[in-house]
Structure 1
Amino acid sequence: MNKPTQHNVTMAQTDTLDEGRRNMMKLTAGASIAALGMSSLVANKAFAATPVQMTQEWDKTFPKSSQVDHKKVTFTNRYGITLVGDLYTPKNATGKLAALVLCGPFGAVKEQSSGLYAQTMAERGFVTLAFDPSFTGESGGEPRNVASPDINTEDFSAAVDCIGTQAHVDRNRIGVIGICGWGGMALNAVAIDKRVKAVVASTMYDMTRVMSKGYFDSTTLEQRTAALEQLGEQRWKDVDAGQPAYGPVSLELKGGEPQFVVEYAAYYKSPERGFHPRAVNSNASWTLTTPLSFMNMPILTYIAEISPRPVLFIHGEKAHSRYFSETAYANAKEPKELMIIPGANHTDLYDQTDIIPFDKITNFFATHLA
């Protein structure tokens, strides 16, 4: 793929999403969209696994860099859940350095996109920490494969706690990068956590918006009510069974899926790109009641309170999810910037290193964590 020319836009310059894309993305019920890790499309059920032991071998979806030191770390969030992260430090680091905390996408693990971002930014002089959210990957929490906008927001602040105790970190120079669904969580966390000095949201999803309202806010009140009634009935089934039920394995395509679902599968299911056995989107599914805590909790309500700290939004021009960043950009206060990557789709910003604007991200943090 040829490297595109990157350009920055204001809201006035942003192209209007065409009606065809809107029609493609209008689905019947918002809760059904993200509950199963964006698209759980087959009948085979995936069950929760016992939390794995922390691995020590290199099992990332990207090559190990010779320019950074890597080690596993554990830390505990405010709810007492032990989280596991990968700490990347520039080789031969001296003194106190700026640091970055990273997580995402929704349904991914630190061995995928967030780890790639973390290692790349460590090569550029930052101490970085990519972590697995609560209930997923190598991190603790029961039941497995459940998400919470509250707990997962807290996970970011717990990661800030952790990185701020590292020997080579200046705790007054900490930034955050959130990818996809954890881009929204990152913005929510930074609005709360004033210790963070700057934030980047890459190919961002507002998970509370898409679960509660559907794509392009197309879910009607009747559909929302029906979804909540269905979730209530599922709770009865879970309590009677004594354990949560899980949806079909994510992204097992049968043909005829929307293009954005095909793009997700091309990343998460391909060993050549992003498949990882611990990732919900690669090899499992969310609990069926995961949407409940997202339905009444809009996580970007206080996005304006990130200011006066800077925020950089990065999104692909062709991404089905682009409108999430455009809305967030409109609601944020200065200093803010929206970078649209020409020709890029949503998942290109997961792992396509010739497209991800690492130079821009580096300059952003070098300036604002100085």
Structure 2
Amino acid sequence: MREDIEFTAEDGVTLRGWHYSPDGGDGPAPLVVMAHGFSATKEMYLDDFAEHFAAGGLGVLVYDNRNLGASDGTPRGELDPWQQIRDYRTAITWALTQPWTDPARIGVWGSSYSGGHVLVVAALDRRVACVVSQVPLVSGLANARRLIRADAFAGLRQMFDGDRAARYAGQDPAMIQVVWEKEPDEPCALPTTDSHDFFLGPILERATTWRNEVTLRSVEMFTEYEPGAYIGQIAPTPLMVVVAAQDHLTVADLTLEYFERARHPKELVVLPAGHFDAYVGDGFARSAPAQLRFLQQHLT
């Protein structure tokens, strides 16, 4: 059963989402806390994962990151990774006040940008009993240099500096497209073809609150963000990392390099697919059961 929920972050911003009760559950149950990746909203297939986990006996808390979707917060489209990490931890704190949560059995799940967040959350917050990180960002700068040509990256840094000066003068934050709409060379945050096809494809029929823009400052914060630096500090909390071998967005070889730095207990799932294939079709059919097994093993 799914119900709408909302909770208040420490700074007063209201975050909204869903709580899934586990099938056959009665009383406090294990809980998986989930949020989506860069600019994405919960309707972008997180409900499919949540339903799968709930059918396997796990409660699930899914919410939209602040400034996106159903959640409050301004400026809209502002993606501050460290604020999103703090909100994950607030979500855990709020869940602990609810009668449906077993406080000893809380897992965190993230994908892409939030796949990096949960690495940090699991390293810092010992309330977390296990963590699943799907196609995660592990190094913002290294990943950005893979996605953006060197000459274009220099121009992007000039845009960051101009936006910083404009904000200091009292202007609103500059905005940038998440994905290109007409031509592949349009400035955007996620310049891969599969990003374009995912965000502007059939998913828009489900994710009606998604907007194809974020603040330029969000991209600057992306390049400054190094969640993989925390991966060696997660143990002894069990870690599962899901890698898409043909991932061109959060590139697979970087993720595999950082996975080697993690300590046991850890588990690796490699999908013969691209970044967004992890959410649908054969990618989902292969990874979701493995993730459920891992969560059941460590939460039930």
TM-score by length of 1: 0.72
Aligned partner of residue 73 in structure 1, secondary structure: strand
- Residue 197 of structure 2 is aligned to residue 266 of structure 1: yes
CA distance in 2, matches of 1:299, 1:130: 21
- Give the drift of 1:86: 1.0
Match of 2:267 in 1: 337
Q: State the identity as a percent.
A: 25
Aligned partner of residue 289 in structure 1, secondary structure: helix
- Residue 234 of structure 2 is aligned to residue 306 of structure 1: yes
Superposed CA offset, 1:201-252 (max 9, x none): 11112363356x5228x876x9766643431212223444631221246341
- Residue 177 of structure 2 is aligned to residue 245 of structure 1: no
- Give the drift of 1:144: 0.7
2:109 to 177, 192, 200: 177
CA distance in 1, matches of 2:180, 2:51: 27
Where does structure 1 differ by over 6 angstroms across 4 or more consecutive aligned residues?
222-225
Aligned partner of residue 21 in structure 2, secondary structure: strand
Match of 2:46 in 1: 114
Match of 1:364 in 2: 294
CA distance in 2, matches of 1:261, 1:127: 34
How many residues of Structure 1 are paired with residues of Structure 2 in the alignment?
294
Contact 1:90–1:125 under 8 Å retained in 2: yes
TM-score by length of 2: 0.87
- Give the drift of 1:319: 1.7
CA distance 1:106–1:71, shift in 2 (3 Å) = same
Within 5 Å, give how 1:1-370 maps onto structure 2: 69-91=1-23, 93-206=25-138, 208-210=140-142, 213-215=144-146, 227-240=156-169, 242-248=171-177, 250-254=179-183, 261-271=192-202, 276-279=207-210, 283-320=211-248, 321-342=251-272, 344-352=273-281, 355-370=285-300
Aligned partner of residue 98 in structure 1, secondary structure: strand
Contact 1:181–1:207 under 8 Å retained in 2: no
Contact 1:197–1:369 under 8 Å retained in 2: yes
Contact 1:176–1:199 under 8 Å retained in 2: yes
CA distance in 1, matches of 2:17, 2:219: 25
- Give the drift of 1:178: 0.4
Superposed CA offset, 1:125-151 (max 9, x none): 111011111211111221110111210
Contact 2:179–2:199 under 8 Å retained in 1: no
Contact 1:267–1:274 under 8 Å retained in 2: no
Stretch of structure 1 that moved more, 289-298 or 75-84 = 289-298
CA-atom RMSD in angstroms: 2.7
CA distance 1:156–1:229, shift in 2 (3 Å) = same
CA distance 1:273–1:83, shift in 2 (3 Å) = closer
CA distance 1:314–1:242, shift in 2 (3 Å) = same
Aligned partner of residue 99 in structure 2, secondary structure: coil
Superposed CA offset, 1:61-83 (max 9, x none): xxxxxxxx111111122333221
- The structure whose residues are more often helix, as a share, is 2
CA distance in 2, matches of 1:364, 1:152: 24
- Give the drift of 1:197: 0.7
Q: Which runs of 5+ in 1 are unaligned?
A: 1-68
